[in-house]
Amino acid sequence: MTIIKEVYDLFEKLYNSTKDRNLKEQLLPIKEEILKAEKSNIDLQSKNLELKKSYEEKISNFEKKIVKLESEIFSLKSKKLSQVGIVRNRSK
């Protein structure tokens, strides 16, 4: 249970136990603020999930690029070594 839900439940107990209509009217803006806070919390959680997903995708793309670059480096080194070997064989 989130803290906002606990606050809302406490508000509901207070509101329901209040008999004075005037006091109940004065309490309603508090309820609206609690509901706004809950909506903001939900929006933030959603944004957080989007950011995590985006971060994970970027990390995955970077890892793929690293593997590709490592492969290209290995290929270039192999090519260079074979060229050096050919040159050495010709000079003998």
Whether the Cβ atoms of residue 7 and residue 38 lie closer than 8 Å to each other: no
Q: Is 30 left (phi over 0), alpha (psi -120 to 50) or beta?
A: alpha
The encoded tokens of residue 4 equal 């906002």
Write down the domain spans for the chain: 3-91
Higher pLDDT, 68 or 79: 68
pLDDT digits (tens, 9 = 90+) for 22-74: 999 999 999 999 999 999 999 999 999 999 999 999 999 999 999 999 999 99
Cα–Cα distance, 70 to 74 (Å, whole number): 6
